[in-house]
Amino acid sequence: MRLEKTVLQVIPALHSGGAERTTVEMTKAIIAAGGRAIVATSGGRLTADVAASGGRVMLLPVHSKNPLAIYRNAGRLERLIRDERVDIIHARSRAPAWSALIAARRTRVPLVTTYHGAYRSQSRLKRLFNSSMARGDLVIANSEFTAAAIRQAYDVGDRLRVIPRGADLAEFNPSAISADRIHAIREQWGLVENSGALVLLLPGRLTDWKGHWVAVEAFSRLIEKAEAGAASDLRLIFAGDQQGAGDYAASLAGRVGELGLQRMIRFVGHCGDMPAAYGASDIVLSPSIRPEAFGRVAAEAGAMGKPVIASDHGGARETIVDEDTGLLVSPGSADDLFAAIRRLIDIGAEGRRAMGARARARIALHFATEAMTEATIAAYHEVLSRKGKLQ
């Protein structure tokens, strides 16, 4: 579908994460459809990916939640919209959505918002702040779980569309990952000398709700109950940076030390080659203690043909078919996580490969990036047509 329009995406930062990756993916899709893609952001490592995709990055302090900064950013966005003749504004977070909403009303340019998370409203003020995301001319939810939370909180009427996030099946393709790339990852993780180790991978930034602590407790039980000699062939990899959660990371590392598992549990930081990281692993974990709005890990690991163990809530219930393409466990339960890991070890490499193959087939059918980008461009067409701006 062609889209010879200028689209301005607004996102606080472009470090890493689902919203950030989607911004890059949509930049590529907009350019491929014949449009112009501009991203307003405070910066981050993925700005280079936007530029490499043909998009233009405008560095603005849109990450700030300060009311005065939000108002000033509205003026900056208004000038950008007029100067660049922007046709659609697409806001991907709450604070910049307020700035984008003000600018959209001043310029009469359609506003699309995407919920990349199901925000919690613990007070009337917080509910008001969150409401910027529900005020778009079209509101996109990244899963049915997120859509249900939006409908419960706000009256969005017929403006809500569900467009699941996806995995790039070309990028996350087991056949496309060379042995050299996997070897490089294993070398970074210190696994080259123990090539037969069974690798558990938990991708995600080091924050308390991603479930690292639960994984540590489950892994310690795994080691305790492993047969003599088998424990030395198990590794747990935490791939993700701190992003300001230094105290949590320190406490987590302290717990690993208390258990004497420093050699078996590795903190490897940000990984720049996630397809190879999945390729270098045997089992992928996503034991979040709070619901994931979508669950990028399950989609990407599944696309790479890896079985995933995830918490039984949020978007994971949509991406994973329990007992078929992966396993779902009680959130926060180290006992359940231990039992699930044990089961995937017991079915052996062939059993894990079969489950992974079913996972890839499901992701290809329901959660491919191409489907997400096509549906989003169709949403742009819809909102432009509603506003009488589709020519």
Per residue in 86-109, pLDDT (tens digit) is 999 999 999 999 999 999 999 999
> Model confidence at 387, in pLDDT bands (50, 70, 90)?
confident
Distance of CA 348 to the CA centre of its chain: 29
How many angstroms separate the CA atoms of 132 and 101, rounded? 7
Give the pLDDT of residue 118.
76
Give the residue-averaged pLDDT of 51-56.
Answer: 96
DSSP string computed for 35-102: -EEEEEES--TTHHHHHHTT-EEEE--TT---HHHHHHHHHHHHHHHHHHT-SEEEE-SHHHHHHHHH
| For residues 128-151, average pLDDT | 94
CATH of the domain at 117: 3.40.50.2000
What pLDDT was estimated at residue 226?
A: 75
- Residue among 293, 370, 303 at smallest CA distance from 19: 293
The reply to whether 160 and 219 lie within a common domain is no
In terms of residue numbers, what domain contains 380? 6-166+368-386
* Residues 161, 274 within the same domain: no
Q: Rounded mean pLDDT of 130-158?
A: 94
Query: pLDDT per residue over 239-267, tens digit each?
Result: 988 866 678 889 999 999 999 999 999 99
Residue 391 belongs to a domain: no
Specify whether 345 is located in the same domain as 381. no
Mean pLDDT, range 193-219, rounded to an integer: 91
Residue range 347-364: mean pLDDT, rounded: 97
Secondary structure E strands in the chain: 6-10, 36-41, 56-59, 88-91, 111-115, 138-141, 160-162, 198-203, 234-239, 265-267, 283-286, 308-311, 326-329
Q: What is the pLDDT of residue 228?
A: 54
Same domain, 233 and 94: no
Residue 163 Rama label (left phi>0; alpha psi -120 to 50; beta): beta
Residue with tokens 């070890």: 345
Our count of domains for the chain comes to 2
Considering the domain architecture, whether residues 133 and 271 belong to the same structural domain is answered as no
Please tell me whether residues 53 and 23 are part of one structural domain: yes
pLDDT, the chain, mean: 93
Higher pLDDT: 386 or 302? It is 302
What's the pTM?
Answer: 0.86
* Helix spans in 120-226 (H): 124-130, 144-153, 179-188, 212-225
Give Cα 252 to chain centroid, integer Å.
Answer: 22
Residue 250 sits in the same domain as residue 126? no
